[in-house]
Amino acid sequence: MRGLYTAGVLDTFLDNGIKADTVIGTSAGVLFGVNFASGQRGRALRYNKKYAPKGCYMGLRSLLTTGNIINRQFAYYDLPSRLDVFDEEAYENSGIDFYATVTNVETGEAEYIKISDCFGQMEVMRATSAMPFVSRIVEYDGKKYLDGGIADSIPVDKAVEMGCEKIIAVLTRPLEYRKGKTNSRLAELMYGKKYPKAAARINSRPDEYNACVEKIIGMEKRGEIFVIRPSRTVKVRHIERDTDKLQEIYDLGAADCAGKMEQLKKYLVSPRKVSD
């Protein structure tokens, strides 16, 4: 639910005509980011505020009855197809190449799947946001996946590899945040026997995440990337039912982005800077 910060940023992009030809998202960044491509301002906030307080959307009841803390049928099929309809046609006509980051549990590596048909590739959308320990492994195209954040929480290196000349990174943690150590035994118990590479990647995630944050800070100082991150901490749980908190984190994203809009526009038209 911290991803609603990203939703606030992206809605402010829409308000100011900020466009992109490539988007690479991870987890909630994908689920909420597709609304940027479809031009559906406010949709992510609207449906989350409406349904987050209800057990049919996510929570312990779904976990106990389906094995997924986010209810597969409700969240990924009922909601976008009839309760708050996603505009697939606008998405397909956006001209944006949109990629979802997933973690292959057999290899432990990140994969980046292009989403050309959101409804037809809804299982990829599930896979990128299938949090370990509280989600079933998602099978797609003969492979097994979990949350893309396990292997690549912030896919900046992938954007560079793909040749993106101007990169905007939208983060959901403030500048000073670093991940602490995880409970390595839990990953070993859950995945170690059958998917040892996934278990190892879960346990190495804090170090990899923190190294990526430091790398981004360096790139930012050199003018190689534009970063929008929370200006303060808002305590929002993964499964947050307090709609005031959801509104607060969304509003913070919108305000932080608006405050940096002139800087962002200058960055987008400035000569490209790259490290030697």
**pLDDT tens digits, 103-115:** 999 999 999 999 9
pLDDT band at 275 (very low <50, low <70, confident <90, very high): low
CA distance 260 to 175: 15
Distance of CA 102 to the CA centre of its chain: 10
> Do residues 178 and 211 touch, judged by C-beta distance below 8 A?
no
Q: Is the pLDDT of residue 183 over 90?
A: no
pLDDT the model gives residue 274 = 67
200-219: average pLDDT: 97
Q: Is the pLDDT of residue 204 over 80?
A: yes
> Do residues 131 and 189 touch, judged by C-beta distance below 8 A?
no
Which of these, 22, 219, 39, 13, lies nearest to 114 by C-alpha position? 22
Phi/psi class of residue 17: alpha, beta or left (left: φ > 0; alpha: ψ in -120 to 50)? left
pLDDT band at 124 (very low <50, low <70, confident <90, very high): very high
User: Of 23-32, 154-163, 180-189, 215-224, which range is least confident?
Assistant: 180-189
Which residues neighbour 59 within 8 Å (Cβ) at sequence distance 6 or greater?
69, 239, 241
61-78: average pLDDT: 96
35-59: average pLDDT: 96
pLDDT the model gives residue 182 = 80
Helices 3-15 and 43-51, packing angle to 10 deg: 150
258-264: average pLDDT: 98
Mean pLDDT over all residues of the chain? Answer: 96
pLDDT the model gives residue 85 = 98
Distances (CA, A) of 219 to 74, 118, 154, 210, 216: 40, 32, 13, 14, 5
> Do residues 113 and 121 touch, judged by C-beta distance below 8 A?
yes
Pairing, β 138-140 against β 143-147: antiparallel
pLDDT band at 276 (very low <50, low <70, confident <90, very high): low
Q: Is the pLDDT of residue 50 over 80?
A: yes
CA distance 12 to 254: 6
24-51: average pLDDT: 98
Backbone Cα Rg of the chain:
18
